[in-house]
């Protein structure tokens, strides 16, 4: 069997905010899979902040996307034709050939459908963002029950799980920041955060001090910049920062100075530790077991924002960077 696959390529590298011109659509013919390969039809694909970094020609923990080549990223696909013993058409797999309608893949993870759980969650609450939240909170920040946790980007894929994991694991207080009044209401009313603020409404340092007058023990940093500086001010003695991402800077042409208060790390005996989820795949089983149970018991809200159709993937990606998502942004193909 051969299929015509539609794919999205990097047409040019963005400077600052990406635009539609940075993406190009192309049709390619895919042959039948060779031995060891699967031909899959993608049903869901992920758009993630790290993809913005891969659009730059810069050395990082993953190589840059190549201009003129298809973009890639997490996707759930249904097997159309199999070159692998034991895998049959209709089976679901997780793989990294997103940004296209169909793909030939040789590296994939078989997925076992779970009753009542959309396969899209393997890109979010049961996937990479969940592992990021789990490892960052428990292993990197070494969260302990009773502690006060502050997470930025709190209404997004990773942040919304960090706050809920902290609550489910016995946090004394969970505080989140997000970019709209609706998101703040979502955090407090639906996700069980004790306090939340809209960072666009004023000085982050003042907003955080008001939300956490007694200080914080853990800061899960998704945003960087003014959020990190405010958190360093609010951290109590022996506080920890899990440095997960700095989305406030990904589209900036000039990086802001700071944080200006790093000297506080000394007197307060603070730890600031960066991490990359790819280094922690050994924790996937523990995460999936615990988080899967919370989902099955209805204790965890796994919010998703969907965009429909491959043609809308660039808009979904840009929308996610601008904050149009609540929970995980997923493209439904
Ligand atoms: P997400 O939070 O679902 O989506 C991105 C969110 O960032 C938007 O919804 C937007 O929400 C917020 N945002 C955009 N510009 C901002 C700004 N200037 N200031 C504050 N917030 C801003 O994305 P995610 O996948 O969960 O990723 C969250 C963070 O984790 C990112 O920094 C990402 O790079 C990082 N990450 C790291 C790893 C790792 O291995 N270290 C793995 C996965 C993700 P608002 O409406 O609230 O502004």
| Number of folded domains that form the chain | 2
Q: What CATH number has the domain bearing residue 181?
A: 3.40.50.720
pLDDT the model gives residue 256: 83
Are 263 and 327 part of one and the same domain? Answer: no
Atom of ligand 1 nearest to the CA of 155: 47
Same domain, 226 and 178: yes
Ligand 1 mutation target, pool 136, 152, 323, 326, most atoms within 8 A of CB: 323
Query: Residue 285 and residue 299: Cα distance in Å, rounded?
Result: 19
Same domain, 132 and 119: no
Residues near 149 by beta carbon (within 8 Å), at least 6 away in sequence: 137, 141, 143, 162, 163, 166, 171, 173, 174, 175, 216, 217, 218, 219, 220
DSSP state letters, 293-324: HHHHTT-S---EEEEESGGGHHHHHHHHHHT-
**Ligand 1 atom 3: residue of nearest CA:** 156
Pair 135, 256 in one domain:
yes
Q: Collapse the DSSP code of 249 into the 3-class scheme (helix H, G, I; strand E, B; otherwise coil) and give the result.
A: helix
Name the E strands within the chain: 3-10, 23-30, 38-46, 75-82, 92-95, 102-105, 109-111, 148-151, 173-178, 195-198, 216-221, 235-243, 271-274, 304-308, 328-332
User: What pTM was computed for the model?
Assistant: 0.98
CATH number of the domain residue 109 falls in: 3.90.180.10
Please tell me whether residues 168 and 255 are part of one structural domain.
yes
Token couple for 325: 């998502």
Pocket of ligand 1 (CB under 6 A): 48-50, 129, 132, 153, 155-159, 178-180, 183, 199, 222-223, 244-245, 247-248, 275-277, 320-321, 323, 325, 329
CA-nearest residue, atom 33 of ligand 1: 245
| pLDDT attached to residue 113 | 86
Q: Measured in angstroms, how far is the CA atom of residue 170 from the centroid of ligand 1?
A: 24
pLDDT for the residue 172: 98
Average pLDDT of each block of 10 consecutive residues along the chain (333 residues)? Answer: 94 96 98 97 98 95 96 98 97 98 98 89 98 98 98 98 98 98 98 98 98 98 98 98 97 88 98 98 97 95 98 98 98 98
The Cα–Cα gap between 273 and 244 comes to: 9
- Residue in 214, 253, 207 with CA at minimum distance from that of residue 235: 214
At 222 the pLDDT is 98
C-alpha of residue 17 to centroid of ligand 1, in Å = 15
- Choose which residue among 48, 49, 52, 305 to substitute to test ligand 1 binding: the one with the highest number of ligand atoms within 8 A of its C-beta: 49
* Domain of 112, in residue numbers: 3-124+302-332
Domain annotation covers residue 284? no
| Residue 178 placed within a domain | yes
Distance of CA 110 to the CA centre of its chain: 21
């Amino acid at each position: 069997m051969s299929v015509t696959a539609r794919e999205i390529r990097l047409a040019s590298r963005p400077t600052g905010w990406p635009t539609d011109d940075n993406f190009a659509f192309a049709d390619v013919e895919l042959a039948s899979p060779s031995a060891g390969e699967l031909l899959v039809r993608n049903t869901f694909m992920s758009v993630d902040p790290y993809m913005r970094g891969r659009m730059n020609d810069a050395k990082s923990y993953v190589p840059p996307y190549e201009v003129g080549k298809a973009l890639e990223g997490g996707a759930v696909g249904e097997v159309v034709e199999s070159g692998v013993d034991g895998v049959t058409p209709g089976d679901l797999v997780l793989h990294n050939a997103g940004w296209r309608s169909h793909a030939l893949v040789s590296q994939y993870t078989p997925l076992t459908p779970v009753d009542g759980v959309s396969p899209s969650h393997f890109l979010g609450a049961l996937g990479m963002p969940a592992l990021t939240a789990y490892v960052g909170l428990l292993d990197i920040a070494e969260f302990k029950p009773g502690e006060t946790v502050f997470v930025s980007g709190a209404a997004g894929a990773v942040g919304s799980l960090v706050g809920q994991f902290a609550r489910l694991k016995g946090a004394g207080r969970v505080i989140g920041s997000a970019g709209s009044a609706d998101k703040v209401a979502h955090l407090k009313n639906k996700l069980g955060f004790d306090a939340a603020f809209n960072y666009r409404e004023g000085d982050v340092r003042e907003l955080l001090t008001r939300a956490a007058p007694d200080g914080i023990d853990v800061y899960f940093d998704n945003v960087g910049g003014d959020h990190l500086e405010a958190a360093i001010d609010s951290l109590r003695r022996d506080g920890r920062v899990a440095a997960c991402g700095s989305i406030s800077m990904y589209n900036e042409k000039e990086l802001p100075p700071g944080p200006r208060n790093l000297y506080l790390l000394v007197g307060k005996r603070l730890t600031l530790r960066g991490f990359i989820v790819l280094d922690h795949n050994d924790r996937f089983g523990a995460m999936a077991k615990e988080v899967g149970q919370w989902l099955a018991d209805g204790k965890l809200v796994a919010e998703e924002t969907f965009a429909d159709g491959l043609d809308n993937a660039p808009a979904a990606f840009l929308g996610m960077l601008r904050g149009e998502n609540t929970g995980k942004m997923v493209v439904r193909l």
